[in-house]
Amino acid sequence: MFGTANAIGETIELPDGQPIEIVGIISAIPEPSHLGVSFTTQGFEVLVVSDLPEDTDGPRLGILGEAAPWAIPSTYTYVLLPQDGRITLETLNDYLAELGPRVTDGSDTRVEYDARPVSRIASSYGFPFPSIVAPISSPELILLLGLTILAIAGANFVNLATVNTAARTREVAVRKVVGASRMQVGTQHVFEAMLTAAVAVFLGLVVVELALPAASTVAQRDFSIPWSSEFGWLVAGAVVVSGLVVGIYPAMLLSRIRPSQALRMFAPGTGSRVFRTLLISAQFAAASLLAIMMLVVQKQNAVLQEAGLRFDEDPYVVLEDTPDEVGLDAEVFRSELLRSPNILEVTGARPLPWETRDTVSRYSRSPDPAVETVATQFRAVTFDYFRVLGLELLAGTQFAAQQQTGRDRDRSFSDGPGPVVLDQIAAQRFGWPNAADAVGQSLYAPFIGGPVPRSTLEIIGVVRRPPFEFREVTAGSVYGLSARNAAHPIIRIDRDGVGPALAHIDAVWSDLVPQSPIRRQFLEARFRQLYSSYEMTNRVLVGLAGVGLGVAAMGLFGIAAFVAARRRQEVGVRKTMGATKSQIALSLVRDFCKPVIVANLLAWPLGFMAATRYLDSFSQRAELGPEPFLASLGLTVLVALVAVASQVVKAARTQPARVLRYE
């Protein structure tokens, strides 16, 4: 607005004509933040002091009345707690528990308040990744997947350390002969495991520090390692715990070794073969689960991408500002736009089609306040919204032009009765699986101005849920009429005249709103911005699945080398008895692949439940067939074959004369 000039002391005019003096300029807000553009509110550009009475303890004027300005559900109230701990979050919430009845003044409506740390607001919405499986937020899911990788690596360490005990039996026997106790032997090997974990953490921190700039650029978020004493203690605790968990079983095996047995010419091996097989199966079960989710997410992303392509037929342009926000008459704006032959249709909505409000609206089928309500998303649209966006009407009628005219004259959205249209998800949640049964029925909602009467909404139609609505909203939507001035304009333009259409939109805006620059965007581009979050999630899952399979393969390679070495005499005897190289190789491959196949069979039920939960979050979901499960089986078996191939070939080429010379 001011370029490089000093804006302090200058004046801007709000949409209501009020002049406001600029007294300060703040820096960009680090993302992710519930105050920034990564949140559903799309951030803010201007902060203005509101006129609110300081005293909220006056006479009660009904629910959320003028005497309770802090009680408006759509407004955040920030509380700075004293550093000395006189008031904690728990004591504040105890006080808030008593505030609801005071605000409602004994009415039938229940109001509850809850305070939570600001740091939890953005993370609970799953940024920078979309929420995948409720009630787990996406950061928690990413943490869970990371712990899965850590568990795979831990199982590998235990397996390799266990098979390595055979090579260290004589070392331990000698140490015991010269006086070492079982406790000393076990403690040494647990300490070695902790040192290994410490080296791994150090290398991991180095890699993360080097990769953070690239990750921040890709995710458009500010990532950094939170260096602090608390973080240092957390890392130290992780090293100690992981060292104990993965080191205690091999240490127990070594501490139990008897020198008399270990110092024989052919010392017996240590560790249980069944235990090793179980660990291999667990590793590949976890890796298979990651692979299944990776393939399901990719399949669903393809469906979302196909849904977004419909906007390429005749492009849609959306405006960031509503007419009310810039002092524009929506009907005049619409009429001027339609003068161009390249402008096909103009409609409006708030919020935009697939975006969601951070609050829900609750309705019930009975005027009785005691009847349980159903939470839905309320969407305010203009009468031509369903036709312009091509949404199929399943039953009843759509909003009529005369209803729109009445709504434009009366800007009140809480008065009832009023016509509403449901999508089929909302109709089913209210108890009407057949769309036609919902038409003509009524919904009831608390009246914002007081406990009674409850506002009445008449259902006039049911529409199919939009195929492009891919946010994880399973509650369904209730559509109500919006005044055109309060809705974001959505403009459908001719694909053969995009350039002239955009020029006409800009010219009309410039003529009608010269004081405010236009902020427009293709609906397809906005779709891509939201879709990019799912692409990012897919990349994360691909990376984690790849790491999981790689770690599991490394462990299997180590086990294969050990088993192949242990079975050389067996291979020599079998070759002496006439077995061929191919028979030997096939037998070894079969033994190595058995736990991998069993692991996949164990992972399939969990993968099916997780995939179903994920796909149910979308209005247009991919079909869950056998392909991801079979592909996961093939992928894990292929990884296992690649890991053991060299050892199998080496074992199959064993010459009997070399391994049986001392038998």
Would 316 be classed as within a structural domain?
Answer: no
Tell me what pLDDT residue 522 has. Answer: 87
The owner of tokens 């787990």 is: 136
Whether residue 328 sits in one domain with residue 477: yes
CA distance 497 to 343: 9
Q: What DSSP character marks residue 223?
A: -
Instruction: Please choose, from the candidates 71, 156, 151, 149, the residue with its C-alpha nearest in 3D space to the C-alpha of residue 114.
Output: 71
Residues 331, 433, single domain; the answer is yes
Residue 296 in domain: yes
3-state secondary structure of 280: helix
State how far the Cα of 314 lies from the Cα of 312, in Å rounded to an integer.
6
**Residues 370, 495: one domain?**
yes
Final residue belonging to a domain, choices 67, 91, 115: 91
Question: Are 196 and 330 within one domain?
Answer: no
Alpha-carbon distance of 430 to 209, in angstroms, equals 51
What DSSP designation does 365 have?
Answer: S
Total count of domains within the chain: 3
Answer whether residue 119 is part of any domain: no
Q: Is residue 524 part of a domain?
A: no
What are the start-end ranges of the E strands in 285-428? 316-319, 343-350, 361-363, 374-381, 393-396, 418-423
If asked whether residues 325 and 275 sit together in one domain, one would say no
Which residue shows structure tokens 């920034």? 36
CA distances for 233 relative to 203, 218, 349, angstroms: 17, 30, 50
Q: Does the residue 113 lie in any domain? A: no
pLDDT tens, 302-335? 777 776 556 557 888 999 888 888 888 888 999 9
Residues of the chain short of pLDDT 50, as ranges, are 40, 55-69, 126-135, 265-268, 411-416, 448-453, 470-473
SS (HEC) of 570-639: HHHHHHHCCCCHHHHHHHHHHHHHHHHHHHHHHHHHHHHHHHHHHHCCCCCCCCCCCHHHHHHHHHHHHH
Task: Give counts: helices (H), strands (E), the chain.
Answer: 19, 13
Q: Contact, 382 vs 487, CB < 8 A?
A: yes
| Residue 525: inside a domain | no
pLDDT digits (tens, 9 = 90+) for 346-405: 999 988 776 766 567 788 888 877 778 888 888 889 988 998 888 889 999 988 887 777
Last residue of a domain, one of 462, 493, 518: 518
- Residues 386 and 259 placed together within one structural domain of the fold: no
Q: Is the pTM of this model over 0.85?
A: no
Burial of 278 (0-12, 13-18, 19+ CB in 10 A): middle
Q: What is the pLDDT of residue 335?
A: 92
Torsion angle of the four alpha carbons 208, 213, 219, 224, in this order, in degrees rounded to the nearest 10:
60
Residue with tokens 């024989």: 264
What pLDDT is recorded for position 448? Answer: 45
Say if strands 19-21 and 477-481 run parallel, antiparallel, or are unpaired: unpaired
Predicted local confidence at residue 346, as pLDDT: 92
- C-beta pairs of 51-60 under 8 Å, 24+ apart in sequence: 60/102, 60/103, 60/105
Name every residue whose Cβ is closer than 8 Å to that of residue 75 and which is 6 or more positions away in sequence. none
Residue 468: which domain range?
321-518
With respect to residue 77, please indicate whether it lies within any of the assigned structural domains: yes
- 393 and 328 assigned to the same domain: yes
User: What is the SS3 assignment for 377?
Assistant: strand
Q: Verify that 22 and 146 share a domain, yes or no.
A: no
Say yes or no: 149 and 61 in one domain: no
Query: Which domain-ending residue is among 498, 518, 538?
Result: 518
d(CA 417, CA 441): 12
Neighbours of 40 (CB within 10 A): 14
Residues 562 and 635 in one domain: yes
Q: Is residue 71 part of a domain?
A: yes
**DSSP calls for 447-461:** -TTSSSSPEEEEEEE
Check if the beta carbon of residue 364 is closer than 8 Å to that of residue 443. yes
Q: Are residues 50 and 160 in the same domain?
A: no
112 neighbors 95 (Cβ within 8 angstroms)? no
Same domain, residue pair 496 and 543? no
Chain centre to alpha carbon of residue 558: 35
